Amino acid sequence: MTIAASRPLSTVREAPAHEPDRDAGARHGVQRTAVVGPLELEAGGKLPEVTLAYETWGTLAPDAGNAVLIQHALTGSAHVAQGDSDEEGWWDGLVGPGRAIDTDRFFVVSVNIIGGCNGSTGPSSPAPDGKPWGSRFPFITLRDAAAAEARLADRLGIRQWFAVVGGSMGGARALEWAAGFPDRVRKCAVIAVGAHSTAEQIALAQAQTLAIRQDPAFRDGDYYGGPAPEAGLALARRIAHISYRSEAELEARFSRKPQDGEEPLSASALAERGRYQVESYLDHQGSKLVRRFDANSYIALTEALMSHDVGRGRGGVEAALADSPVEFFVAAVESDRLYLPSQSEALAAALPGDVAVHRIASEIGHDGFLTEAGQLGALLGTTRYIW
């Protein structure tokens, strides 16, 4: 596969603060883009111009008090719900008319993170010289992402979000909004993620980025116009996906069963042996990601998540959030072995007030925050977090 630079699907004119873009609800679940200007980055780099891709559902109230920001996970996109499009959303069970986050009541916004490859400025986007950024793309953090999204909120006429909601990396992004812009967030839902990336999480992430970098086609990140590092990206996804699912779920689904038509224990040479079903499953997950995601974006966003620490430069987690006026909702997946429930408990303990940790009952593992959307919606409802 040859990778070309990404191009925005449409561009919203840059509206001044006193002239918000009020027509954003006209096309529900259809990608739009907005130019939000240059961005000085936390680590010292700079993007001379940032474009953000986003989607909206529902209608913004005259006082803009019904806006909800939903943050996607590592390889997600802004397409949270199907809306007027032909494509299913990744959180359709949670977002839509009559759902827990009711688009008949709320104006829902989701933004493709900077560094991504689904319409926002990222490594595959043109740099000022017209060539893809590639290896020149600067290091970004989740704080940089929140800063860029705040500018988009300005253009949409949203001074304060009714809620910012996210799971996994999306939850870390939501937490950065609460810490960095506390006056602009009324409620914050942090799901299946802790206050900072742990040593183990960084170690797993480093193995994934190294898998991509060691692919001969990677060419230090300047592979656009030629073969993409598909093998490295697929391997990175395999490593990640093992941590997204629980041991119990993998055992129940696959155990030691061979893949149909293959025999792992019958081969005259190592290279000729057949696969177990779980190996075929991981191969499938890798192949799926290669078809829709850019390897450089995978590295950029993985390293942004590695940098996640809401207490960094703020005196620690408790100090960062001690005086926050934000109302927090924290939830963990019981079987999560990537972001352990104990990390959610530590986050809740550091938050002001008495914040409970709600449990999503699932044997799946980390991905339970996606697959158990109905259960999550019920938790949001019974705690009166949304209603």
Catalytic residue flag (residue 366): yes
Enter the tokens of residue 290: 């290669």
Instruction: Using the structure block, give the residue that is written with the tokens 């359709």.
Output: 92
To the nearest 10°, the Cα dihedral for 219, 222, 223, 224?
Answer: 180
Contact residues for 176 (Cβ-Cβ < 8 A; gap 6+): 142, 143, 145, 146, 310
Catalytic residue among 28, 79, 241, 366: 366
Catalytic residue flag (residue 196): no
Catalytic residue among 336, 358, 362, 367: 336
**3-class SS string, the chain:** CECCCCCCCCCECCCCCCCCCCCCCCCECCCEEEEEEEEECCCCCEEEEEEEEEEEECCCCCCCCCEEEEECCCCCCCCCCCCCCCCCCCCCCCEECCCCEECCCCEEEEECCCCCCCCCCCCCCECCCCCECHHHCCCCCHHHHHHHHHHHHHHCCCCCECEEEEECHHHHHHHHHHHHCHHHECEEEEECCCCECCHHHHHHHHHHHHHHHCCHHHHHHCCCCCECCHHHHHHHHHHHHHHHCCHHHHHHHCCCCECCCCCCCCCCCHHHCCCEHHHHHHHHHHHHHHCCCCHHHHHHHHHHHHCCECCCCCCCHHHHHCCCCCEEEEEEECCCCCCCHHHHHHHHHHCCCCCCEEEECCCCCCCHHHHCHHHHHHHHHHCCCCC
Catalytic residue among 6, 120, 168, 344: 168
- Residues annotated as catalytic are 168, 336, 366
